[in-house]
Structure 1
Amino acid sequence: MYAIVDIETTGGYAANNDITEVAIVLHDGEKVVKRFESLIKPERAIPYYIQVLTGITPQMVEEAPSFEELAPVIHDLLEGTIFIAHNVNFDYSFLKHHLSQAGYELTTNKLCTVRLSKKVFPGFKSYSLGRLCESLGIRMENRHRAGGDADATVRLFEHLLRHDALTHIQQFVKKGAKEQSLPPHLPKEEVEKLPYTPGVYYFHDQKGKVLYVGKAKNLKYRVRSHFTHNGAGRQRQEFLRNIHSITYQGCATELMAFILESVEIKRLWPPYNNSQKRFTPAFGLYLYEDRSGYSRLAIDKIKKNLTPIYTFNLLVEGHRLVRRLIADYELCPKLCHMQTDTAAPCTGVEEATCHGACEHRESAAAYNERVEQALQFLDQNLPTFALVDEGNQAIEQSCILIEKGRFYGMGYLPQDCSVHDMDSLKGYLTRYPENDYIRGLVYQHVEKYPHKKVTWNILV
Structure 2
Amino acid sequence: MYAIVDIETTGGHASANGITEIAICIHNGKKVIERYSTLVNPRREIPIYISALTGITNDMVQNAPPFEDVAHDIYHLLNNKTFVAHNVNFDYSFVRYHLAAAGYELQCNKLCTVRLGRKIMPGLPSYSLGKLCRHLGIENESRHRAAGDAEATSILFSMLLAKDNGNHIPLALKQNSKEQVLPANLPKKDVEALPPSPGVYYFHDQKGKVIYVGKAKNLKKRVCSHFTGNNPGVQRQEFLRNIHNITFQTCGTELVAFVLEAVEIKRLWPKYNRSLKRFEHAYSLYAFEDQRGYLRLAVDKHRKMTGAIYSCNTLFEGRSIVMKLIDTFQLCPKLCFIQNNTSACTGVNLGSCACEGHESVEDYNQRVSLAIDELNKALPTFAIRDAGRNDEEHSCLLIEKGKFYGMGYISHYFNADSLDQLKNHLTPYPGNDYIRNMVDNYAVKFPDRKMVFAV
Give runs of aligned pairs for residues 288-327 of structure 1, distance below 5 A: 288-327=288-327
CA contact (8 A) 2:283 2:301 kept: yes
Equivalent AA in structure 1 for residue 435 of structure 2 = I
Paired residue type of 2:51: Q
- Deviation of residue 340 (structure 1)? 2.5
Contact 2:287 2:296 in 1 (8 A): yes
In the alignment, the residues of structure 1 paired with residue 392 and residue 5 of structure 2 have an alpha-carbon distance, to the nearest angstrom, of 55
SS at match of 2:277: helix
Q: Please say if 1:347 is aligned against 2:346.
A: yes
Deviation larger for 411-420 or 62-71: 411-420
Assess if the C-alpha contact under 8 Å between 2:382 and 2:453 holds in 1: yes
Q: Distance in 2 between matches of 1:182 and 1:307?
A: 48
Q: Mapping of 1:200-239 within 5 angstroms? A: 200-239=200-239
TM-score by length of 2: 0.98
Q: How does 1:417-428 map to 2 (within 5 A)?
A: 417-428=414-425
Residues 100-179 of structure 1: pairs in structure 2 closer than 5 A: 100-164=100-164, 167-179=167-179
Question: What percent of counterpart residues are identical?
Answer: 57
Counterpart check, 1:415 vs 2:412? yes
In the aligned structure 2, how far is the partner of 1:50 from the partner of 1:165?
Answer: 39
Q: TM-score, normalised by structure 1?
A: 0.97
In structure 2, how many angstroms separate the alpha carbons of the residues matched to 1:183 and 1:59? 35
SS for the counterpart of 1:249 is: strand
What secondary structure is seen at the aligned counterpart in 2 of 1:181?
A: coil
Q: Look up the match of 2:354.
A: 357
TM-superposed CA distance for 1:166, in Å, is 7.7
Question: How many Å separate the matches in 2 of 1:281 and 1:305?
Answer: 12
1:344/1:90 CA distance change after superposition, 3 Å: same
Partner Cα distance (2:434, 2:307) in 1: 19
Equivalent residue for 1:251?
Answer: 251
Q: Which runs of 5+ in 2 are unaligned?
A: none
Q: CA RMSD in A?
A: 1.4
> Which one of 413, 433, 436 corresponds to residue 436 of structure 1?
433
Q: Given the alignment of the two structures, is residue 374 of structure 1 paired with residue 371 of structure 2, yes or no?
A: yes
Structure 1: 5+ residue stretches without partners: none
Identify which range, 168-177 or 143-152, moves more after superposition: 168-177
2:273 maps to which residue? 273
Q: Deviations over 1:311-342 (max 9, x none)?
A: 0122221111111111222111111112223x
Deviation, 1:354, is 8.3
Cα distance, 1:271 vs structure 2: 1.4
Which moves more between the two structures, 294-303 or 68-77? 294-303
Higher mean displacement: 98-107 or 162-171: 162-171
In structure 2, the CA distance between the partners of 1:355 and 1:193, relative to structure 1 (3 Å rule), is farther
CA distance in 2, matches of 1:307, 1:88: 54
- Given that 2:2 and 2:83 are in contact with CA atoms closer than 8 Å, whether structure 1 keeps it comes out as yes
Contact 1:116 1:165 in 2 (8 A): no
Q: Distance in 2 between matches of 1:10 and 1:384?
A: 58
Shift of 1:418: 2.2
Q: Secondary structure at the match of 2:202?
A: strand
| Equivalent AA in structure 1 for residue 121 of structure 2 | F
Q: Point out the more displaced range, 230-239 or 330-339.
A: 330-339
Alignment correspondent of 2:448: 451
Question: Any idea what SS the aligned residue of 1:275 has?
Answer: coil
Deviation at 1:88, TM superposition (A): 0.1
Alignment pair present for 1:389 and 2:386: yes
Aligned-partner Cα distance in 2 for 1:127–1:135: 10
Residue 331 of structure 2: SS of its match in structure 1? coil
Give the Å deviation of 1:368: 1.2
Structure 1 position 301, deviation (Å): 2.1
SS, match of residue 264 in structure 1: helix
Which region of structure 1 is more displaced relative to structure 2, 73-82 or 242-251?
242-251
How far apart are residue 307 of structure 1 and its match? Answer: 1.9
The residue that corresponds to 1:183 in the other structure is 183
Q: Distance in 1 between matches of 2:144 and 2:390?
A: 54
Residue 49 (str. 1) matches residue 46 (str. 2): no
Contact 2:161/2:169 (8 A) holds in 1 = no
Secondary structure of 1:370's counterpart equals: helix
- Report how many aligned residue pairs link the two structures: 455
SS in 2 for 1:276: coil
Q: Is the Cα contact below 8 Å between 2:120 and 2:166 reproduced in 1?
A: no
**Structure 1 Cα separation of the partners of residues 270 and 171 of structure 2:** 34
Distance (whole Å) between structure 2 residues aligned to residue 347 and residue 121 of structure 1: 83
CA offsets 1:132-153 (integer angstroms, 9 cap, x no match): 1111122222000000000000
Distance in 2 of aligned mates of 1:426 and 1:278: 28
Instruction: Tell me how far apart the structure 2 counterparts of residues 3 and 353 of structure 1 sit (CA, whole Å).
Output: 87
Contact 2:86 2:129 in 1 (8 A): yes
Helix, strand or coil: the match of 2:328? helix
Distance, in Å, in 2 between the alignment partners of 1:191 and 1:150 is 30
Gap change, CA 1:446 and 1:354, over 3 Å in 2 = farther
Q: Which region of structure 1 is more displaced relative to structure 2, 318-327 or 443-452?
A: 318-327
8 Å contact from structure 1 (residues 330, 355) kept in 2: no
